[in-house]
Amino acid sequence: MAAPWWAVAAPVHRQQALVTRLVHLPDGSWWMYGAWARWYRWHPADGRWFPCFPPRSVQVRRSAQTARPGLNPPAIPVEILPSGPDFAYDYGPPLAVAGRPVSGALLYRLRSVIAEAAAAPPLDYPLGWSHFLHGTPSTVAATWSAMLWCAAVPVFDPDPEKGGRAGLLNLWEPYLSRPLDGRGRLRWVMPPLLRTIIALYAERMRAGRPDAAGHIVRCMVMTAQALRDDPRFKVRAQALLSIAEPLQANPALDHRALPYGDEAVEREWMSRCPPGLGATLFFDAAPGQRFQMAMYDLADALVPMCGDPEGPDFIEPRHAAVALLAADLAGHRPDLAQQIGTWLDPELRGLLTDVLERPEHELRRLWPAEGGMPGDFRPADAEIALRAMSAAAAVDLAWCRLAHETPIPPEGFAVPDAFAAALTGPTTAERPRPEDDGEDDRETEEPDRKTQGSG
């Protein structure tokens, strides 16, 4: 992997210091805990480092050795060295906007933001997107795009009246040219790229309307502010605020980049993102790394279903993650397996091919059957199901983005849909908070005092 844009040159002494922390296994692989709080694996088959969920097998762990004389560890590339800030921020597990409705206070704030955006004169805010009805101002598209960009996993509950009130997506339905697809248990929406949002702003700037461009930025900022209290939006909302809010204080920040096109403006926007939130930009700037991180998160989410590491039926979580990736590829685009597999380490790359090509492969028993997960790989509770569903959906969105924006099938993907079947109520991690009960949960005309001013 070539050093990406976010890599910071590390002094040689840091690389040398970390050599002593490398771990060697009998299969010839080396492991290191590095950037973005992830384990990385080097395999002699191709001599590259890949993010890879660590083995949990007790036997494998006991066979590990630290670097010592006689073992020649591989060079550590700069891009996987921990830079400091990437450990300082807890991203938490990726969570889809499903399993529990958003709070009434959040819906109230968003409804107010959308109403203000919709009041903008369409002639002053032209919009050429076929996704919206003719006459919709670009300010509304800015709120929609900002909401989807801020979502950790933009996969939603399909029921528009879940919890007795309108769902999140329904706030934008009056402006959409066609209803959102939702044939399965979930609604899938491919998140927009940051450059798509930037184009709305940059077009007004080039048209000599900095006032209109400023209002578009204001709509993005207000949307992110309304979403940031929900853990499913928090991290990416903070990243968008760090990028867009400075424009409100200094509208001239991007003037030098405007003549060179939207890509130049995008680089300016990305440069304002704090290093600790840099991983939020992988989907836009580094889709391969985004896919790798999503696979890592999926393996982590599958740990509770993989059994006792000392038991006879134990499955390595990273192997289970590859099996589920193969299931969704087989049902939609198996021809993309080779292209996507280049971003996996040699072991997992070969495993992906084997699972797809051999109908008798033992890991196929983990594939969904009859709309649900198989009995021995079924989540024990709704919390585990939500984490697994969200992580599996994030993997599918990541490889669709990686494979030249492959469209999402209308019915969604089989694996997240099967995990969604186990979402029977609020999860432990997402139980209603006190401010979500009572009047606030019924969408009263005014948010309670606790939520005032938070948007």
In this structure, the answer to whether residues 101 and 236 fall within a common structural domain is: yes
Q: What is the DSSP letter of 77?
A: -
The last residue of a domain, from among 35, 70, 88: 88
In this structure, the answer to whether residues 241 and 272 fall within a common structural domain is: yes
pLDDT at 184: 79
The C-alpha torsion from 300 through 378 and 351 to 71, rounded to 10°, is: 40
The percentage of residues in the chain with a pLDDT greater than 90, rounded to a whole number, is: 72
In this structure, the answer to whether residues 259 and 304 fall within a common structural domain is: no
Q: How far apart are CA 81 and CA 253, in angstroms?
A: 31
R_g over Cα of the chain: 23
Q: How confident is the model at residue 13 (pLDDT cuts 50, 70, 90)?
A: low
Residue pair 416/393 in contact by the 8 Å Cβ criterion: yes
Please say if the pLDDT value at position 426 is more than 70: no
Please say if the pLDDT value at position 435 is more than 60: no
Residue pair 56/306 in contact by the 8 Å Cβ criterion: yes
- 282-334 per-position pLDDT tens digit: 999 999 999 999 999 999 999 999 999 999 999 999 999 999 999 999 999 99
Cβ-based neighbours of 222, under 8 Å, separated by 6 or more: 113, 116, 143, 455
Q: How confident is the model at residue 265 (pLDDT cuts 50, 70, 90)?
A: very high
Residue found under tokens 């193969």: 326
In this structure, the answer to whether residues 232 and 377 fall within a common structural domain is: no
Cβ-based neighbours of 176, under 8 Å, separated by 6 or more: 131, 132, 133
Residue pair 58/64 in contact by the 8 Å Cβ criterion: no
In this structure, the answer to whether residues 327 and 408 fall within a common structural domain is: yes
Please say if the pLDDT value at position 179 is more than 90: no
Please say if the pLDDT value at position 117 is more than 60: yes
- 39-55 per-position pLDDT tens digit: 999 999 999 999 999 99
Give the residue numbers spanning the domain of 346. 287-424
Residue pair 309/58 in contact by the 8 Å Cβ criterion: yes
Q: What total of structural domains would you count in the chain?
A: 3
In this structure, the answer to whether residues 186 and 235 fall within a common structural domain is: yes
pTM for this entry: 0.88
Q: How far apart are CA 264 and CA 278, in angstroms?
A: 18
Q: How confident is the model at residue 405 (pLDDT cuts 50, 70, 90)?
A: confident
pLDDT at 383: 95
Q: How far apart are CA 354 and CA 237, in angstroms?
A: 39
Is residue 415 one of the residues assigned to a domain?
Answer: yes
**Rounded to 5°, angle at Cα 249 from 244 and 253:** 65
The last residue of a domain, from among 88, 117, 140: 88
- What count of other Cβ atoms lies within 10 Å of the Cβ of residue 371? 12
Please say if the pLDDT value at position 444 is more than 70: no
In this structure, the answer to whether residues 215 and 232 fall within a common structural domain is: yes
Is residue 128 one of the residues assigned to a domain?
Answer: yes
Q: How far apart are CA 241 and CA 238, in angstroms?
A: 5
Find how far residue 353's CA is from the centre of its chain. Answer: 25
In this structure, the answer to whether residues 266 and 298 fall within a common structural domain is: no
pLDDT at 210: 96
Residue 30 pairs in a beta bridge with: 24, 42
Cβ-based neighbours of 8, under 8 Å, separated by 6 or more: 78, 83, 275
Is residue 6 one of the residues assigned to a domain?
Answer: no
Q: How far apart are CA 101 and CA 105, in angstroms?
A: 11
Residue pair 275/317 in contact by the 8 Å Cβ criterion: no
**CA 208 vs CA 204, 243, 324, 387: distances in Å:** 7, 22, 50, 46
Q: Is 271 exposed, middle or buried (0-12, 13-18, 19+ CB in 10 A)?
A: exposed
Find how far residue 100's CA is from the centre of its chain. Answer: 18
Is residue 112 one of the residues assigned to a domain?
Answer: yes
Is residue 170 one of the residues assigned to a domain?
Answer: yes
- Spatial CA neighbour of 198 closest among 143, 253, 262: 262
In this structure, the answer to whether residues 80 and 120 fall within a common structural domain is: no
- Kindly state the average pLDDT of the residues 346-361: 97
Please say if the pLDDT value at position 430 is more than 90: no
In this structure, the answer to whether residues 270 and 311 fall within a common structural domain is: no
Is residue 1 one of the residues assigned to a domain?
Answer: no
Please say if the pLDDT value at position 10 is more than 70: no
Q: How far apart are CA 406 and CA 426, in angstroms?
A: 32
Q: How confident is the model at residue 99 (pLDDT cuts 50, 70, 90)?
A: confident
Is residue 404 one of the residues assigned to a domain?
Answer: yes
The last residue of a domain, from among 88, 107, 134: 88
In this structure, the answer to whether residues 106 and 242 fall within a common structural domain is: yes
- Max Cα distance, the chain (Å): 72
Residue pair 327/367 in contact by the 8 Å Cβ criterion: yes
Is residue 207 one of the residues assigned to a domain?
Answer: yes
SS3 content of the chain, % helix, strand, coil (to 5): 50, 5, 40
Residue found under tokens 């709309």: 371
Q: How far apart are CA 148 and CA 420, in angstroms?
A: 20
Q: How confident is the model at residue 434 (pLDDT cuts 50, 70, 90)?
A: very low
Q: How far apart are CA 361 and CA 372, in angstroms?
A: 20
Q: Is 272 exposed, middle or buried (0-12, 13-18, 19+ CB in 10 A)?
A: middle
In this structure, the answer to whether residues 101 and 137 fall within a common structural domain is: yes
pLDDT at 448: 37
